[in-house]
């Protein structure tokens, strides 16, 4: 377990105080009862610290600050106080029956609880308040960073599709289809409109259902297949139960676009793209036939963007696998009830 600098300083101060107390007791030749009392206090404080730290780790997973702020605050404060009181009472009870001849009586238990509430619990509450403010601040910073990444991704996606060359190419294709095949030109126009409608809808969403994303990909690939004819081939193997899971919008489109951008396509060697969902992941796989000339801004900015967006929702990693004959990207599907 790694400790932050502030935690190391706090632990060092605590150890120094404990050592100082026992050195003082030794120097003053304090009676045995004082040693036992000091030992009890140290043990109780240590147990309370460890229990509240374990509680914090557990609630970080079940009730994150960012999504359950109020519920997390009251839950941790209430459970923390209750756990601390249980530790204090159990420790005092064990202390009395094992190290003294007198069993605890009601007045003593009432006194120890009153002292705990008046002295120890305010200290715990203050410490908890400091942790709350620190974690809330970190959560806010993470949220702001994610929003910036989302906005950047949305703008990039819109820029790519609203690029004059993209519009020009599709309008040229539509123009040529009108003179050749009116029925196909009508279908092309409908898919063209559907692509932009879905892009504009998803621009304000953080997550979309896989089913919705696949609907968009079908319309998007229709445009590409008409444009590139048989040089791009798309296939899908989707588990029906995965269609209700979620992923960041336009993720699959970005991965398909990335494959087209970095690979050569021809009638002799068509680009084959396969989308498959399996074991809580969805993968985009293409046969590898990389372009010899490096493109401007051809770094893995798209993949890095996807990884950063995923890190906000899940600890599962985006996997990139490059083989001599294929390139695969596996992204986790998200169950929003687990966020």
Chain segment 266-281, per-residue pLDDT in tens: 888 899 999 999 989 9
- Interatomic CA distance for residues 222 and 192, integer angstroms: 9
Please report the pLDDT score of residue 25 as a whole number: 46
User: 182 or 256: which carries more pLDDT confidence?
Assistant: 256
Cα gap 2→44, rounded to integer Å: 24
Mean pLDDT of 81-97: 82
Angle between helices 69-99 and 106-115 (to 10 degrees): 140
124 or 254, higher pLDDT: 254
- Burial class (CB within 10 angstroms; exposed 0-12, middle 13-18, buried 19+) of 142: middle
Segment 168-198, tens digit of pLDDT: 777 788 888 887 888 888 888 888 888 878 7
**Mean per-residue pLDDT, 202-213:** 84
Distance between CA 326 and CA 308 in Å, rounded? 24
pLDDT band at 7 (very low <50, low <70, confident <90, very high): low
* Confidence band, pLDDT 50/70/90 cuts, at residue 331: very high
> Which pLDDT value is given to residue 1?
47
Tell me the C-alpha distance between 59 and 54, whole Å.
Answer: 9
3-state secondary structure of 124: helix
Cβ atoms of 120 and 48 closer than 8 Å: yes
Contact indicator for 41, 120 with CB cutoff of 8 Å: no
Is beta strand 326-332 parallel, antiparallel or unpaired with respect to 319-322?
antiparallel
């Amino acid at each position: 377990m790694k400790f932050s600098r502030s935690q190391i300083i706090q632990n060092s101060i605590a150890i120094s105080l404990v050592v100082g107390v026992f050195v003082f007791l030794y120097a003053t030749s304090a009676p045995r009862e004082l040693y036992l009392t000091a030992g009890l206090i140290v043990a109780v404080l240590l147990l309370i610290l460890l229990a509240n730290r374990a509680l914090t780790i557990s609630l970080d997973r079940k009730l994150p600050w960012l999504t359950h702020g109020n519920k997390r605050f009251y839950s941790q404060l209430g459970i923390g106080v209750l756990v601390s009181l249980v530790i204090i009472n159990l420790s005092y009870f064990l202390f009395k029956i094992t190290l003294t001849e007198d069993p605890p009586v009601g007045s003593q238990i009432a006194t120890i609880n009153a002292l705990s509430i008046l002295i120890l619990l305010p200290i715990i509450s203050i410490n908890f308040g400091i942790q709350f403010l620190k974690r809330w601040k970190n959560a806010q910073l993470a949220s702001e960073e994610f929003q910036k990444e989302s906005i950047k991704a949305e703008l990039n996606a819109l820029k790519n599709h609203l690029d004059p060359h993209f519009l020009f190419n599709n309008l040229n294709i539509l123009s040529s289809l009108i003179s050749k095949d009116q029925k196909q030109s009508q279908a092309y126009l409908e898919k063209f409109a559907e692509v932009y409608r879905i892009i504009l809808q998803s621009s304000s969403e953080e997550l979309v259902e896989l089913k919705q994303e696949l609907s968009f990909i079908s319309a998007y690939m229709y445009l590409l297949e008409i444009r590139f004819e048989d040089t791009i081939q798309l296939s899908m193997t989707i588990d029906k139960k995965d269609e209700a899971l979620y992923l960041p919008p336009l993720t699959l489109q970005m991965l398909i676009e990335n494959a087209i951008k970095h690979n050569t396509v021809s009638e002799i060697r068509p680009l084959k793209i396969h989308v498959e969902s399996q074991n809580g992941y969805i993968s985009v796989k293409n046969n590898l036939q990389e372009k010899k000339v490096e493109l401007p801004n051809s770094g893995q900015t798209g993949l890095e963007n996807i990884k950063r967006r995923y890190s906000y929702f899940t600890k599962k990693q985006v996997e990139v696998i490059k083989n001599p004959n294929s390139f695969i990207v596996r992204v986790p599907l998200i169950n929003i009830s687990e966020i």
